[in-house]
């Protein structure tokens, strides 16, 4: 009980959360009611079953079905403000939110609608919830280099306020990181930070590629680094943080349980670990819940938990003065 209050009170930053994956269950149900053709259940019990994932590939299929529910600026605004309210309820003051423009445009949304919804939502997040949001625009890897090129073009042409980073999501199996090198190089030259997913569903070689080919400054997940002592040493020495999402990994079948999660090994090797939710309602995750689960499993002391929370602020892409204000 006391630990729960302690974790809640820590000012937190969420560095790995997908906008579509942050849609609350009531929001998903409402969107599903309006758009039955998407095949997403509009009944709460059926939706809970729909969000029970057989494996990672199944999760991605479901994720794309939910993406297809999101059609216009109003929907985007609803997602952004809903996420801000949920973050505020966790006492998270700042989040870097992954948006996948290519998928929304492919589903028929206009660029104007996407940008207008992000802008109005971000302003409302600050004004109504006191939550600062930044954007990561990411490539849906399964759609290949065309998606890479178009995501880069969109990001650099539109450059919305708050855009800080460039990412790569979707499956890793059969989707080599290196093919996206030109887009990450251009994004980095334009001042965006590199935060690809790597080592969530494949081994350490993918993380090495994210570092060497994509100039990764943080790694989305990166959990398979635990199996490569040289990589662990490299991540620690070069202070490349991992955006660890324990409940996500359990729910997509990447690890058996929180107890079996390699987060302890990562910490023991001096790797900078941050705790994140990935797609919270889809996984039944909350940011405070991730801290409590890891603290409970590893038997962390209060100062160790506080250090984890502070570490997320420190390795965020917030301006230094804003970090100080948060810490
Ligand atoms: N898109 C949404 N969540 C994701 C995840 N955990 N990995 C890759 N792509 C994603
Ligand atoms: Zn993710």
Helix axes 287-298, 302-314, angle to 10 degrees: 130
The distance of Cα 128 from the centroid of its chain, to the nearest Å, equals: 23
The answer to whether 233 is a known catalytic residue is no
Nearest CA to ligand 1 atom 2: 18
Task: Establish whether residue 170 lines the binding site of ligand 1, counting it when its CB lies within 6 angstroms of any ligand atom.
Answer: yes
Task: Establish whether residue 279 lines the binding site of ligand 1, counting it when its CB lies within 6 angstroms of any ligand atom.
Answer: yes
* Residue 298 in this model has a pLDDT that exceeds 90: yes
Q: Are 35 and 69 in contact (CB under 8 A)?
A: yes
Structure tokens at 234: 């490299």
Structure tokens at 40: 């997403």
Q: Which atom of ligand 1 is nearest to the CA of 172?
A: 8
3-class secondary structure, 107? coil
Question: For residues 234 and 86, what is the distance between their CA atoms, to the nearest angstrom?
Answer: 35
The domain 2-326: what is its CATH number?
3.20.20.140
> Rounded mean pLDDT of 269-274?
98
For the chain, give the mean pLDDT: 98
The pLDDT tens digits of the residues spanning 34-63 come to 999 999 999 999 999 999 999 999 999 999
The percentage of the chain sitting over the pLDDT mark of 90, rounded to a whole number, equals 99
Domain boundaries, the chain: 2-326
Considering 14, 172, 200, 217, which one is annotated as catalytic? Answer: 200
Residue-wise burial string across 253-292, b where 16 or more C-beta atoms lie within 10 A, e elsewhere: ebbeebeebbbbebbebebbbbbbbbbbbbbebbbbbbbb
Residues in a beta bridge with 136: 98, 165
Instruction: Tell me how far the alpha carbon of residue 221 lies from the centroid of ligand 2, in angstroms.
Output: 7
The pLDDT tens digits of the residues spanning 152-203 come to 999 999 999 999 999 999 999 999 999 999 999 999 999 999 999 999 999 9
Nearest CA to ligand 1 atom 6: 278
Task: Establish whether residue 14 lines the binding site of ligand 1, counting it when its CB lies within 6 angstroms of any ligand atom.
Answer: no
- Whether pTM > 0.90 for this model: the answer is yes
Instruction: Tell me how far the alpha carbon of residue 309 lies from the centroid of ligand 1, in angstroms.
Output: 22
Query: In 10 A of CB 206, how many CB atoms?
Result: 26
Instruction: Tell me how far the alpha carbon of residue 252 lies from the centroid of ligand 1, in angstroms.
Output: 10
Question: For residues 9 and 296, what is the distance between their CA atoms, to the nearest angstrom?
Answer: 17
Q: Which atom of ligand 1 is nearest to the CA of 18?
A: 2
């Amino acid at each position: 009980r006391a630990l729960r209050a302690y974790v809640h009170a820590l000012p937190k930053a969420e560095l790995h959360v997908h906008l579509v994956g942050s849609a609350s269950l009531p929001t998903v149900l409402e969107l599903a009611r309006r758009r039955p053709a998407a095949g997403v259940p509009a009944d709460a019990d059926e939706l809970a079953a729909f969000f029970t994932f057989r494996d990672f590939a199944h999760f991605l299929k479901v994720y794309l079905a939910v993406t297809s529910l999101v059609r216009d600026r109003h929907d985007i605004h609803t997602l952004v403000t809903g996420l801000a309210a949920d973050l505020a309820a966790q006492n998270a003051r700042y989040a870097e939110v992954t948006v996948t423009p290519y998928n929304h445009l492919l589903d028929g949304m206009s660029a104007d609608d996407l940008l207008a919804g992000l802008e109005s939502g971000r302003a409302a997040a600050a004004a109504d919830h006191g939550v600062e949001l930044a954007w990561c625009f990411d490539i849906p890897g399964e759609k290949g280099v065309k998606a890479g090129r178009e995501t880069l073009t969109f990001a650099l042409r539109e450059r919305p306020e708050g855009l800080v980073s460039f990412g790569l999501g979707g499956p890793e199996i059969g989707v080599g990181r290196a093919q996206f090198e030109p887009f990450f190089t251009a994004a980095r030259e334009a001042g965006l930070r590199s935060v690809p997913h790597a080592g969530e569903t494949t081994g350490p070689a993918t993380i090495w590629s994210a570092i060497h080919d994509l100039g990764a400054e943080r790694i989305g997940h990166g959990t398979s680094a635990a199996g490569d002592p040289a990589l662990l040493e490299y991540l620690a020495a070069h202070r490349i943080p991992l955006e660890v999402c324990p409940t996500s990994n359990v729910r997509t079948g990447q690890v058996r349980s929180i107890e079996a999660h390699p987060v302890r090994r990562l910490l023991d090797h001096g790797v900078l670990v941050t705790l994140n939710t990935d797609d919270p309602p889809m996984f039944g995750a909350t940011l405070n819940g991730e801290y409590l689960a890891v603290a409970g499993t590893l038997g962390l002391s209060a100062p160790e938990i506080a250090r984890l929370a502070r570490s997320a602020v420190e390795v965020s892409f917030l301006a230094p003065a804003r970090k100080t204000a948060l810490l």
